[in-house]
Amino acid sequence: MLRRSDQRGNKGSALSIGVNLAPQSGGTYRTVRGFYDALSSKDWTAHILNFSKYRGDDLPEGSWTFPTTGLPVGRAYQWCRDVYGDAVTAAIRHAELVFIHGIYVHPLLEAATFAMKHRIPYVLVPHGSLDPFAFTRRGGRKRVWLSLYREVLFERSAAVLYASEAERKRSWAAGFERRVECIPWTVAAGSLGEKDAAREAIRQRHGIGRDRRIALFCARIATVKRVTETIRAFLREAPRQWVLLCVGPATSEVDIDEFRTLCAQSEGRCIYVGPVFGRAVEDYYAAADLFVLLSLSENFGHSVGEALARGTPVALSPGVGLATHVQRYGGGFVAGGESFEDMCGVLSTALNCSAAVLHEAGEVGRNWVERELNEAIFAERLDALCQSVCGEARAASGRCAEAVAV
């Protein structure tokens, strides 16, 4: 086990704790990996501790992954030395700073409570868990959880870290937080040189003619993503030369057979690709003429940033965290509201633009992502937060020591 001031990172150890950290879990996994890379680049010793139903093969070497049971009760309350030994508590005890990625899972609550009792500063990262939409499923239980544990989650945490101003403004905890911070996540830059090759490869893979234009949906097939509504709006508004590729893993929220049937009945205008991860999904971002995400809620929108980074313009709902940035700086189109007619309206506008207009919008978005969401800027912002939080903790510890001495 590493000591609290490991020699590989002069600033100390920063520990991220999360649940189900794997590519198929979407944005949270990418965010935690982004934290790890950013902190490592700033002379912190970064570690990841993962409670997961998936294997931890995609996490950095040296990360801890603890398997969770498939039983709902066991999965929620599986925290004891008989299961994890001393590894979890030792990792927290030896950290200068802990990031808690998520809320409604008992091991995360226990980790926060343990850090609080040992006066180790911890930052809560909600990942959209406090958004109003999050309460449409098991809302009563979640409100009870937040009420019972408000002190440890919000009042005693060093800070609550949001990914966008939109997430912060929609948060259930607004006003309860001891300290609020907002740092947009990082997005890896893309290569425009890959677009032509990627487009040709995707066309061949799915039998799409060169006279067709490609729109892309890339996200979990989940209720919040409104993928079935997106398909219906697309079929109503898209000129015949457009085809919509739907990329993403199935979830229990949407009947995947019905979804496949909806695509199959579109006469080739909508194609369900299935789950695609890693380097392979980058080809889809690069190949698309337009990226579409009309979710009810996204605390950030990693897939939006990744599309923009590859010069692909976006069509968004206002519920997407990055939508305000697209409205302000360009890069695509944002619906005027959340209704189905609003979805149809933004798609009609975007899909009837010329290739030149879409290309120009994509260039604007790419330049903005490279300028504002690059890895170096994110590392600077996250490092500044870490140093500030640790500085406050040291000052508080000093005051406690002085009081005891007196």
Q: In this structure, are residues 162 and 317 in contact, taking their beta carbons and an 8 Å threshold?
A: no
Res 196: pLDDT: 87
Maximum alpha-carbon separation in the chain: 81
More confident residue, 161 or 68: 161
| Domain ranges, ordered by start, for the chain | 13-186+374-405, 192-372
Tell me the CA distances in angstroms from 1 to 44, 140, 261, 329, one per residue in order: 16, 40, 52, 46
Q: Is the pLDDT of residue 81 over 60?
A: no
Q: Is the pLDDT of residue 34 over 90?
A: yes
Res 19: pLDDT: 94
Q: Name the pLDDT band for 154 (thresholds 50, 70, 90).
A: very high
Common-topology check for domains 13-186+374-405 and 192-372 = yes
Domain 192-372, second-level architecture: 3-Layer(aba) Sandwich (3.40)
Res 69: pLDDT: 65
Residue 162, phi then psi, degrees to nearest 5: -105, 155
Length reported for the chain: 406
For 193-204, what is the mean pLDDT? Answer: 88
By mean pLDDT, which of 79-83, 150-154, 282-286, 390-394 is the weakest?
A: 79-83
Give residues with Cβ within 8 angstroms of 192, minimum separation 6. 310, 311, 366
Percentage above 90 pLDDT, the chain: 81
| Tens digits of residue pLDDT in 209-238 | 999 999 999 999 999 999 999 999 999 999
pLDDT, mean over the chain = 90
| Tens digits of residue pLDDT in 110-143 | 999 999 999 999 999 999 999 999 999 899 999 9
Q: Is the pLDDT of residue 270 over 90?
A: yes
pTM of the entire structure? 0.88
Q: What is the rounded CA–CA span in Å between residue 188 and residue 8? A: 25
Res 406: pLDDT: 46
Res 181: pLDDT: 97
Res 308: pLDDT: 96
Q: In this structure, are residues 389 and 159 in contact, taking their beta carbons and an 8 Å threshold?
A: yes
| Tens digits of residue pLDDT in 334-387 | 999 999 999 999 999 999 999 999 999 999 999 999 999 999 999 999 999 999
Q: What is the rounded CA–CA span in Å between residue 232 and residue 112? A: 43
Residue 357, phi then psi, degrees to nearest 5: -65, -45
CA 3 to centroid of chain Cα atoms: 30
**The residue type at 237:** E
| Tens digits of residue pLDDT in 359-372 | 999 999 999 999 99
Q: 13-186+374-405, which class in CATH?
A: alpha beta
Strand ranges of the sheet holding 270-274, from the earlier edge strand across to the other edge: 270-274, 242-247, 213-218, 290-293, 314-316, 332-334
Res 70: pLDDT: 59
Residue 239, Cβ density class (10 Å: 0-12 exposed, 13-18 middle, ≥19 buried): exposed
